[in-house]
Amino acid sequence: MSVVIRPKVTIREVALASGVARSTVSKALAGKAYVRPETKTRVIEAARRLGYRASSLARGLRLQQTWSVGLLLADVSNPFFPDIVRGIEDLLWSREFNLIVCNTDYRKDKEAAYLRHLLDRQLDGLILASTASDSDEVLQLQEQGTPFVMLNRRHKSVSTDYVGMDNEGGVRATIAHLHALGHRRIGFIKGRADSSAAEERFQGYRSAMRAFGLSVEDRHVTQGDYSIESGRDAAAHFLRAGELPTAIVSANDFMAFGAMGVFAGAGIAVPDRISITGFDDIFVSALPEIDLTTVRPNSRQLGASAAELLLERIASVGATGIEAGGIDTSEPRDIIVPTELIVRGTTTSVQQ
């Protein structure tokens, strides 16, 4: 069976069909404001009728854009990230942008190498969802005027565009829930030491404990790194520390899983003898075997908000043009997405 390949429709054919010059077709399809509305409508209808589609390469050469955005993720295997990526990709796809995803494994050297690679490809902008709070590369991006948005992690020394969840509010809601159940000895498993989000969650814990008149005891706070293994280590720490907390707040779901396993092995039932909560509401947390009380971050909205803000920055850089050297000089923006406490089966009233 032979396959008939239809020749590609050219911009010249669209111009002939709509009765205008080829330059007018380019301007009309690019959405230029100075093309008369009736002319623009005629061009668009002709292009649709003929099946004309401008290539992203040609479009990029015309507007000095690549129509591509880079995304750096800390750990692509972490179930926390897929919904964020989906939110980013859906928004970018709707605006005809491509997404290039790079996984850094929380390694600064890998992150720096990927950033150099993406910049060499002259992408239009970057979303950084893996960056350490002291990253020198962020400073360089800012100096170069590269549009970028930091997602769920802030830089400790410079102000940048940032999209994140309400980390403190999520933990405060968790403490309020536990307090209402009668818990007064509440422990905390901290997240990665180089993560601003982890620090915000710890600050939420401390502020909520103070608000309820509860003491924060050193023996009831321990460092984790978001891994299941560090959750196991945290549970072992609590077991060695003497009197157990009646409840433990974990800075993410994975560490809560690790702690639950250790307590089960020690014959300490969850939630009858100790309540445990997480943060992130990854998909396995809702499984009946786990049924974890946790904080839901609205991940797709996080991703979509980061992509929307980045595209605004890219458009601003294009609009400033030669006058400002192609750099958007407006103030950095903060977008905080609300969180929601999801109460399930790992929390209950204190047993008297």
Mind giving me the DSSP string for 201-261?
HHHHHHHHHHHTT----GGGEEE--SSHHHHHHHHHHHHHTSSPPSEEEESSHHHHHHHHH
How many CA atoms lie within 13 Å of 92's alpha carbon, on the beta-carbon side? 26
Spell out, as residue ranges, where the chain has pLDDT lower than 70.
1-8, 30-34, 53-65, 131-134, 318-329, 352
The confidence score (pLDDT) of residue 64 equals 56
The confidence score (pLDDT) of residue 169 equals 98
The confidence score (pLDDT) of residue 322 equals 32
pTM of the predicted structure, to 2 decimals: 0.78
Instruction: Name the nearest CA neighbour of 188 among 295, 276, 282, 293.
Output: 276
Tokens of 2: 């032979």
pLDDT digits (tens, 9 = 90+) for 172-198: 999 999 999 999 999 999 999 888 899
Give yes or no for a contact between 133 and 156, defined as CB atoms under 8 angstroms apart: yes
How far apart are alpha carbons 294 and 276 in whole angstroms? 9
How far apart are alpha carbons 212 and 176 in whole angstroms? 8
CA angle 130, 293, 250 (to 5 degrees): 45
**What are 23's strand-pairing partners?**
none
The confidence score (pLDDT) of residue 318 equals 61
Give yes or no for a contact between 235 and 259, defined as CB atoms under 8 angstroms apart: yes
pLDDT digits (tens, 9 = 90+) for 200-222: 999 999 999 999 999 999 999 99
Give yes or no for a contact between 223 and 190, defined as CB atoms under 8 angstroms apart: yes
Domains of the chain: 1-50 (1.10.260.40), 68-164+299-337 (3.40.50.2300), 167-297 (3.40.50.2300)
Question: Phi, psi at residue 223, to the nearest 5°?
Answer: -85, 135
How far apart are alpha carbons 309 and 331 in whole angstroms? 13
The confidence score (pLDDT) of residue 85 equals 96
CA–centroid distance for 89 within its chain: 12
The confidence score (pLDDT) of residue 33 equals 55
The confidence score (pLDDT) of residue 75 equals 87
How far apart are alpha carbons 142 and 166 in whole angstroms? 25
